Structure 1
Amino acid sequence: MTELPFDERAHVAHMEKVMGLSIDDAWRPIVEAHMAATARAAALVLSLPLDDHVEPAPVFVP
């Protein structure tokens, strides 16, 4: 399955509507840049191969 590239502009516009936010046009490029940087960081984390028996994180039990 081929993944589509992350579209930070579309994501920010969608989440703005979903969350009921109003992002000032002056701030929009900055918000989009931060979302793109977060997506790149997430892609790095998700690209790390893990064996099936390895837990990616411990389970918190209070």
Structure 2
Amino acid sequence: MAEPLDDYIDAVAKALELPIDDAWKPSVRANLAVTLKMAKMVDEFSLPDETEPASIYAA
């Protein structure tokens, strides 16, 4: 049974002409699932309209 993200992974790999070995697909799928979960958390975090972006980022 195919995982829900498999079609997406195949389509993006084809569009980018990026070959992905079948052995790597579970790892790619897991990474994408975590990325989508984090993106959902950021998207759901509400900020007031007057919030200003930080002016300087330093590492």
TM-score, normalized by the shorter chain, greater than 0.5: yes
Q: Which amino acid aligns with 2:24?
A: W
- The normalised TM-score by structure 2 is 0.73
TM-score (normalizing by structure 1):
0.70
Identity across the alignment (%): 32
Instruction: List structure 1 segments (4+ residues) > 3 angstroms apart after TM superposition.
Output: 57-60
| Structure number having the greater helix percentage | 2
- Greater RCO structure (CA 8 Å; 6+ sep): 1
Q: Which runs of 5+ in 2 are unaligned?
A: none
RMSD of Structure 2 on Structure 1 (CA): 1.8
Question: Where does structure 1 lack aligned partners over 5 or more consecutive residues?
Answer: 1-6
